[in-house]
Amino acid sequence: MHELAVTESLLHTATDYAQRNQATKVTDLYMVIGQLSSIVDDSVQFYWDIISKDTICEGAKLHFERKPAVIKCLDCNTEYGIKPELTPCPACGSIKAKIISGEEFNLDSIEIERQT
């Protein structure tokens, strides 16, 4: 259900950006979502189609880029990716680790059309 709040925030950001830049239409939104993020692309798209109706963003295409998770071993400083589940450090076998990336959810860019 948190996808609704995230999608409402996306709509607010895109609408605000469009208004500040004298846009006639928002055409595309590009997002980066980390592998460990709980954001579900299909849910965001579902809510987007509903809440963007009758706004400057209606019909805008959502682009989702999934970013893999990167873990750093706290014992030997090796950085490594993870499979579907967390795994020990491949260099030293330690289970002490820190997530470096993979939890993010960012709006990377917005494309708009302007009246000429």
Kindly report the pTM of this predicted structure.
0.81
DSSP type of residue 95 = -
Q: What is the dihedral of CA 69, 70, 73, 79, to 10 degrees?
A: 150
- The amino acid at residue 96 is K
User: Domain of 93: which CATH number?
Assistant: 3.30.2320.80
**Tens-digit pLDDT profile for residues 35-81:** 888 899 999 999 999 999 999 999 999 999 999 999 999 999 999 98
Number of domains in the chain: 1
pLDDT at 50: 97
Strands (E), 46-89: 61-67, 70-73, 79-81
DSSP type of residue 69 = P
The domain of 39 spans 2-114
